[in-house]
Each structure stands twice: as C-alpha cells, then as structure tokens.
Chain A
Amino acid sequence: MITAGRIVRLAERDRAGVHFFFDGQIRRALEGDTVLTAMLASGHALRMSEFGPEPRAGFCLMGACQDCWVWQEEGPRLRACSSLITEGMRLSTTPPESWP
C-alpha cells in the first residue's frame, strides 16, 4: 500500500514496484528509489536524533552530512541518501532491540 509521506513524486513514476518493511509495516517503493526516497515517500522521518527530541529526515542528500543513517532490522546501518532500496529490505527508525 502507498501511504502519504513527506516526499512528492513529480516525474519518473512508471518504474517497477519494490516492497520493503518500514518499522515492521510493508510499504511499496519504486525500483531506483534511494532508501531515503522510499522511506520518506511513506513516512515523515528516517530516525530520531540522539542528541535532541526531534526526528530527522536527512539534510544534504550527497553523502556529506551523515544525517540520514538508518537502521536495518538485522543490524548494520545504511546511509539512506546513497543506498538504493531493494526488495524485502527491513528498515527501522529506531535501533534494533539488541542495541545496547
């Protein structure tokens, strides 16, 4: 299902669909979307700030600011602006439970 998020698609809408999990919910994105595009097309944030109360949704989109690191359920983090979404990816706005 497509949930209204922050991002608005203006062009290139005829790409094949990809499914991924966002905080446990199944979501649809398009092939060639970055993880950032995919998550923000469905939601409003990528993660919570570790140093303040506010959510974060990326800043520079060119791999320089490091604001968009997101958690994967299996552990390793991804820089959302420079990683492409793939079928079945399990992404999360909060750290995995095993994280100390």
Chain B
Amino acid sequence: MSRTASPRVVIVGAGPAGIRAAAALVDAGLHPVVIDEGNRAGGQIYRRPPDGFVRTPEQLYGSEAAKARALHAVFDRLAADGRLIHCAGSSVIAMQEGRLHVLGEGGVQIVSYDRLILATGASDRVAPVPGWQSAGVYSLGAAQIALKAQGVALGRRIVLIGSGPLLTLVGAQLVEAGADVAAVLDTSPWHQQMRGFWKLAARPLVALRGLVLRAKLGRRYHAGVSLERIEADGQGVTAMCWRDAGGRQRFTPCDTIGMGWHLRAETHLADLAECAFIYDEQWQQWLPKIDEMGRAGNGVYLAGDGVRLVGADGAEIAGRLAAAACLADLGFSAPSIGADLRKLARLERFARGLACAFPWPAQMMQALPDDAVVCRCENVTAGAVRQSVDFCGGEANRVKSLSRVGMGRCQGRYCQLAAVELAAAQAGCTQDAIGRFRGQAPVRPAPIGAFLRED
C-alpha cells in the first residue's frame, strides 16, 4: 500500500504505550504521526535526561533499565529511518471533527487523523494537605523526575507523604542518590496493606522488589499516619506536622515535601474526543470506557495509564493491543493478541491489589478544615467548595462554575478528585452521583499569539 493512500493514524504520547503502538503500526506498513510533549521519546517513567548527561540507563532506571533501553532504541530507529513522524515538544490542546490543534514551538498547527490512539499517561493523584500551596511542596513524580532527568534533589531535607508504590520507590531512589530523606509517611495502615497483599502474588517478583525497597527506607518509613499540616514561612516549607499510627503528635522539620497517592489518569483528550466515562470504584476515579483492546468508539483508541492504571509493563501491552484493534478496524491483518490479553489481565489484577493496599485518603479530605486550599492554582478553599454545594447542590460542574475549583491553569488535574470528594460529603451523596468536571479546550495554556498566526 502506498503511503499517500494509507490511512493517517495519530498517536498522542510517546511513553511505553505510544511507542509500542507506533511500532506495531509501522510493522503493518503504516506511517503514523506521534505527537509528544517530551523533547525525547520515553514518557515519564522512561524519561531521558537532556543531551550531555552521562548516567547509564542502569543508573537511571534500575531494574527496569533493559525495558527502557529497548523502548528508546525501537523509537529512535523508527524515527531515524523516517518510518514515523515525530512531533516532539508538542501538545494537543484541542480537537474537533478529526482535527487536532497541536501547539508547538511555531504556534498552533492542525493535524488531521483517520484514527486516533491516545496514550496520554497519568500524573500523580494528590490530596490537599493544609499548607500544600507553599513553595517546596511537590508531587512524588516531580521528585523522581528531578532526580532522573536533572540529577538533583528538590531540597536539602525531604519528607515524602502519601501512599502507593511510588512513595516507597521515590524514597528509596532519593536515599540511594544521597538525598536527605527525613521521613516517608504512608497514610495506609498495615492491616489495609495486608488486605491487598494477596492480590500482589500475581507478580511475586515485583512485590518482593517493593519489600526490598521498603527495607531500604528503614526507620524513616511510618505506616498508618494522619497528616495534619505543612508549616511554611515566607520562603517556603519549614516542617511537616503529623500523627503516627498510635495517635502521637509528630513534627518533622524539612524544606521539601513530595506527595502522591498513586496516579490519576490523564483523560482530558479522551473527554474532548467524546469518549464515554465510567466511575471505577477500585481506582476511585472516572475512567474512559473501552473494550478489552482499547477501543473507545468513533475511531479513537486508548492505551496505557491514561485509561487503566496498570503501569509501564501494562502500557506496553495495551499500546500493542490498541494498535492491533486499529489495524483490524482499518482492514489490515492484525498481529495475534491472545497472549497479550492474558498478560494484561494478570497485570491488572496486581494493579487492583495495589489500589486496595494503598487507598485514596477519602476521610482525610472530608475532614479538611474550611481554610485549607483545595485548588492550588487559584487558592480556592475547602470552605468555598462546601459553600458552593449549599448554594447550587451536589453536581460537579455547578460546584466548579460557582467556586472556580478546577478552573485554574491546571484545569482541575490536581484538585478535581479532592473537590468532588468534598462536594459529595457536603451533599451527602457518592462521588459517582456527583459527576466529574467536563474537560475543556485548550487543555494546556496557550499564548493568544499562537492562534493569531493560524489562518
């Protein structure tokens, strides 16, 4: 089939899912377009430092170095051979009727597609803690990116808070790199961690690796804590105030906090593509609806952590599956998928075990004092969110318009789950009933000049 006649498939995201999807499409003779915000392909988990950095993949990615090497090599070869078009440093900010608005260095360009594969990944799922608007509070992912892509620690004395695999992993990586980690505070109590543990037997080696990392943290690690507040002065964070599992008040001086409770799927583009969403009780967030291959309908396919929070290995498989579905729907012969489907099911069992062992701190959020900031972009408080429910009832988008929570620059990425939790508690209903914030274009801030250059 000649290239000009072949259908245009656009992939958004060049992490594990996007790279595997691109490779599968190229194998079938297609010439996909890959749009990615990163300057170099790899995504966040296999993110590569800028040119001129010298640490090896073994130093950067530890036990996952071979996977990172393989993914980078596959993508670099396809790009160098001209088998795909790589739009690096570019964001899809809007879409309409098969046309993507892509913001890059030269302004906004229109890219049309016949089929769209969204592999947009995830970001940290964060919960507000009083004081978290202070300078020196970061996501756990940020602490890891700083270390991996820049070789730096974000502060001189670091406290990590939250729950989930990344909490332990980032803690161990920082300690190993020589950072001063004062404490690692897990809101999940031991008995809860044990409850999810049997499901983790689906990947015994990964579970074991987690225990080894946990051991590296030693006495820094505390399970079942309650987080009270982050203290700060005019320069930024000065201490973390918390209670241990026995209820004793603790005070840990520090200048930096890293926080996160697993991941939140990045679903803004799926929303603009008019995918249906369902509330997932276990992951406690709204996720786009797909079939087992990743089909979302209307020629849109989803893969990776942007739709199911299964992690990097699962994302590679899901990328291949989405490409296979896309190829089959276009009438191409698709690669066989039986083994991939079975592997993905096993990885999903494991991921759901993690979600059970390290849950989202719903009660902590419901107990937030009224003056605590929920939206970090515009300092909208918990009190303002609660008050808006009293005025307009328990519906997510009315709460959003009235209180402005979720209308700041991040478009609700970091406040929406907490805001909806607070609103549901105030209205006396479930998160499922209160709904979710509608995604709106542009999904990234764009200078007006970028649009003026467009004809």
Cα A84 to Cα B378 in complex, Å, equals: 27
Asked whether B152 lies within 8 Å of A61 as measured between CB atoms, the reply is no
| Total number of B residues with any Cβ neighbor in A under 8 Å | 56
Q: Which residues of B contact A62 (CB under 8 A)?
A: 44, 123, 141-142, 145
Cα A55 to Cα B445 in complex, Å, equals: 21
- Asked if B416 CB lies within 8 Å of chain A CBs, one says no
Asked whether A63 lies within 8 Å of B235 as measured between CB atoms, the reply is no
Q: Size class of A's contact patch?
A: 35 or more
Taking chain B's interface residues, is the majority helix, strand, or loop, or is none over half, making it mixed?
loop
Task: Given A52-B133, A57-B136, A59-B137, answer yes or no on A10-B376 (Cβ-Cβ < 8 Å).
Answer: no
Task: Given A59-B139, A62-B141, answer yes or no on A34-B150 (Cβ-Cβ < 8 Å).
Answer: yes
- Asked if A95 CB lies within 8 Å of chain B CBs, one says no
Asked whether A55 lies within 8 Å of B236 as measured between CB atoms, the reply is yes
> Of residues 16 to 62 in A, which have CB atoms within 8 Å of B's CB atoms?
16, 31-34, 37, 40-41, 44-45, 49-52, 54-62
Closest chain A CB from B269 CB (angstroms): 13
- Asked if B156 CB lies within 8 Å of chain A CBs, one says yes
Task: Given A10-B178, A12-B55, answer yes or no on A60-B153 (Cβ-Cβ < 8 Å).
Answer: no
Q: Which residues of B contact A40 (CB under 8 A)?
A: 154
Task: Given A6-B256, A60-B123, answer yes or no on A32-B154 (Cβ-Cβ < 8 Å).
Answer: no
> Of residues 44 to 73 in B, which have CB atoms within 8 Å of A's CB atoms?
44, 49-55
Taking chain A's interface residues, is the majority helix, strand, or loop, or is none over half, making it mixed?
loop
Q: Which residues of A contact B145 (CB under 8 A)?
A: 61-62
Name the residue of chain B whose CB is nearest to the CB of A56: B135
Asked whether A12 lies within 8 Å of B54 as measured between CB atoms, the reply is yes
Closest chain A CB from B15 CB (angstroms): 11
> Of residues 62 to 76 in A, which have CB atoms within 8 Å of B's CB atoms?
62-67, 69, 76
Asked whether A11 lies within 8 Å of B236 as measured between CB atoms, the reply is no
| Contact residue among B236, B376, B409, B445 (Cβ-Cβ distance under 8 Å from A6) | B236
Q: Which residues of B contact A6 (CB under 8 A)?
A: 135-136, 154-156, 236, 255-256
| Contact residue among B51, B91, B141 (Cβ-Cβ distance under 8 Å from A61) | B141
Q: Which residues of A contact B55 (CB under 8 A)?
A: 11-12
Q: Which residues of A contact B142 (CB under 8 A)?
A: 58-62
A-B complex: 4 closest residue pairs judged by Cβ atoms: A12-B151, A66-B409, A11-B151, A61-B142
Q: List 30 A-B contacts (CB under 8 A).
A: A6-B236, A8-B152, A10-B147, A10-B152, A10-B153, A10-B178, A12-B49, A15-B52, A31-B52, A32-B53, A32-B150, A37-B152, A51-B377, A51-B378, A52-B133, A52-B373, A55-B236, A58-B138, A58-B142, A60-B414, A62-B44, A62-B141, A62-B145, A63-B444, A64-B123, A64-B410, A65-B139, A65-B413, A66-B408, A66-B410
